[in-house]
Every structure is written in C-alpha cells, then in structure tokens.
Amino acid sequence: MTPPLIDPFARAIRYLRVSVTDRCDFRCVYCMAENMTFLPKADLLTLEELDRMCSSFVGLGVEKLRITGGEPLVRKGIMTFFRAMSRHLESGALKELTLTTNGSQLGRFAAELADCGVRRVNVSLDTLDPQKFADITRWGRLPQVLDGIRAAQEAGLRVKINAVALKGFNEEEQFSLTDWCAREGHDLTWIEVMPMGDLGNEDRLDQYWSLKDLRSRYAERYTLTDLAERTGGPARYVRLEETGQKIGFITPLTHNFCESCNRVRLTCTGELYMCLGQEDMADLRAPLRASPDNTLLERAIRAAIARKPKGHDFDYSRQGVAGQMTRHMSHTGG
C-alpha cells in the first residue's frame, strides 16, 4: 500500500484542483486584469504531462479532481485530458472528476464531459442582468452562458452556481438569483471576494460584502437549517426550508475554514500551491521532466505536502487588507 498524503496537521490530502490554462475568454474584474499578459504556451504543462501529474496524485490517494483555469474549456484539445482522467473513475481510484467553468463553452462540450464521467459542474455566474454581466466579465455574453447551462442540464450534469458577493453590484440580486436557481434546479454558493491580484486596479475593499450580512438577509426571509454536508471543498451549507434549496457560503474572510482543508492547487505550469492564501509553492514541473520515472515527482509531492501550512492570512480591516496575494486568481486556478 502506498502511504497516503498527510500534511503536518494530520489532514489527509484527497482533493486536487488543477488549472489547465491561465487563459480565459472573459476578463472578470475580480479575477484578472483587462489587458492580461498570458504565459507562453511552451511554459504550460502539455496534456500528456497533466495526465502524468494528476495520475501521480491519484496514485497517492487523491480522490477528487477539479479542473479549473482560466477557463478550462478554452484549452485546445482539453477533452483528450478529460477522457484520459476517466480511466481513474472506471478503476475506482478517483471518486469524482469535475470542473469549474464560466459556462461559455458548455454548449460545445457538455455532452462529451458527461461521457467522460463528469457528473456535476460549477458555473461562475454573478448576475442575471445582461448589462451588469457584460460589465463584470468585460468580454462576456450572458445568453451564451445561459445556453451552456441548459446544455449541461440536457446532458444530465448537475449544475451549481457560484456567485461572488460584490457590494454595490449584486446585493439587490440576492433573492432574484436565489429564486432563479430554485426554478432551474441549481444549488447556489456565494463566495467572498478575496484579496488577490493588483489592488491598484480593482479595490477589493470597496467590493467586499461580508457573507455574514448576506446570510442574515436570508434569515429574515427563510428558515435556515445548517447542514453537516461537505463536498470536499470549503463551502458550508444551509437549507432554505421554504424552498428546499441548498445554499453554500465560502467565507475565507469572515470564517476561516482551514482546519478541514484537504486540498492543494496545481497551476498550469506545474507549481503546487499548498494554500491559496500563501505564497509558498513547490515546482513539480522540474522533477516531472527530469525523469520518465515518477520517483522524483512523487518525492517532490510528498515534500510539498509536508510544508502545507495550518491556514491562510486573508483578512480585511477598516484600514486595509492583510494577507493580500499579488498573483491573480487566474494564475493559481479559480
């Protein structure tokens, strides 16, 4: 038996988030700059290298793979990678293969994703107002995303909507977005905006809307029941008893969820971030390319997990931001 990946705080690492590209067909204001300089394609792991990397993690006990970006579905040939990963689902080594997407390409790929064993997808959608959607994504078109969501449903995929809570932007849509998700059969998770990227361009302090406030608004209208359910990620869930909906809250700022963290993040260049809110990372591309044998790679993975910190330092105060990360969210993977 291969020893599992256990970090210094006795947390078993079962969940790997993998960014397959830093590119995206949107420019969401909280994720990347409008005029991004993207990585040279030669710096990215090839699809074959991504297969080998992820397969090594699966061999070390990772049971859930979430594919992210940028926008993962704009990576040329990406379905080759999904088809390769499906073999781990068939063997039983991998319990879930899923992705986070902006939904723009789901119309093209939803059926094939389902054929590869994907059963649910997270779609980032912060507003149902076409003009506000164009404003927040800069380049996005809401009808294309809604068509993609419908294609996912028709393919049998379960859709969860991820909405970033943004003060002064989608506060008034809390209940209209909730009602739409109820009608369409989607779960909904709200996410606090995180201090990542160039704050000189996008001031996260002005955008920050505490989910404590958002939850209290729900409590004024609905009966909330806390759920013990965990999906392997950081969300905490409640059920709205009047509708039966499940609402999630990802609160890196108002509630530090690090004590149960079982995940690490791999960038498209082979950097492993043991914590989203820390700068420490391990270069896995070098050992991957140093030898066709996986011994060096697996040794590097274990050494990285041995450095996984207890938690992040994200925090907002009235005066400023603590724990700010200089890299854009698109670099690490959404």
| CA-angle at 243, arms to 237 and 248, nearest 5° | 15
Inform me whether the pLDDT recorded for 239 exceeds 90: yes
Angle, helices 130-137 vs 142-154, to 10°: value is 100
Contacts of 93 (CB under 8 A, 6+ apart): 58, 59, 63
Query: What is the rounded CA–CA span in Å between residue 298 and residue 290?
Result: 12
Does 222 show up as a binding residue in the annotation?
no
> Cα-flanking dihedrals φ and ψ of residue 57, to 5°?
-65, -40
Which one, of 190, 195, 160, lies nearest residue 175 by Cα? 190
Least confident segment among 112-121, 152-161, 264-273, 278-287: 278-287
Is 64's pLDDT higher than 80? yes
Does 261 appear as a known binding residue? yes
In angstroms, the CA 151 to CA 174 distance is 25
Per-residue pLDDT reduced to its tens digit, 284-334 = 999 999 999 999 999 999 999 999 988 755 444 434 444 444 544 555 655
Which stretches of 92-170 are DSSP H helices?
A: 106-115, 130-137, 142-154
Task: Tell me the two tokens of residue 51.
Answer: 């297969």
> Is 181 known as a binding-site position?
no
For 107-155, what is each residue's pLDDT tens digit? 999 999 999 999 999 999 999 999 999 999 998 999 999 999 999 999 9
If we measure between CA atoms, which residue out of 68, 73, 124, 117 comes closest to residue 97? 117
What is the Cα–Cα distance from 280 to 260, expressed in whole angstroms? Answer: 19
Pairing verdict, β 96-101 and 64-68 = parallel
Q: Report residue 2's pLDDT band, with 50, 70 and 90 as the boundaries.
A: confident
Annotated binding residue 11? no
Contact 202, 30 (CB under 8 A): yes
Does the structure show a pLDDT above 60 at 4?
Answer: yes
- The confidence score (pLDDT) of residue 42 equals 86
268 is in an annotated binding site: no
pLDDT tens digits, residue range 177-228? Answer: 999 999 999 999 999 886 544 444 445 556 789 899 999 999 999 999 999 8
Ranges of each domain in the chain: 15-332
Establish whether 308 is an annotated binding residue. Answer: no
93, 4 contact by CB (below 8 A): no
Average pLDDT of the chain is: 88
Mapping DSSP to helix (H, G, I), strand (E, B) and coil, where does residue 268 land? Answer: coil
Check if the beta carbon of residue 160 is closer than 8 Å to that of residue 204: no
pLDDT average, residue stretch 32-52 = 91
The CA distances from residue 196 to 95, 99, 102, 207, 328, in Å, are 31, 21, 19, 12, 6
Is 30 marked as binding a ligand? yes
Percent of the residues in the chain that have a pLDDT greater than 70, as a whole number: 86
Residue 323: predicted pLDDT: 46
| 54 annotated ligand binder | no
* Contact between residue 196 and residue 330 where contact means Cβ atoms under 8 Å apart: no
What single DSSP character describes residue 45? P
92-105: per-residue pLDDT in tens?
999 999 999 999 99
pLDDT at res. 256: 52
160 is in an annotated binding site: yes
Structure tokens, 326: 């200089």
**Does 28 belong to an annotated binding site?**
yes
Cα 85 to chain centroid, rounded: 18
316 annotated to a ligand binding site: no
CATH number attached to the domain at 15-332 = 3.20.20.70
- Is 200 annotated as ligand-binding? no
Sequence length of the chain is 334
Q: For residue 180, what are its two tokens? A: 């739409």
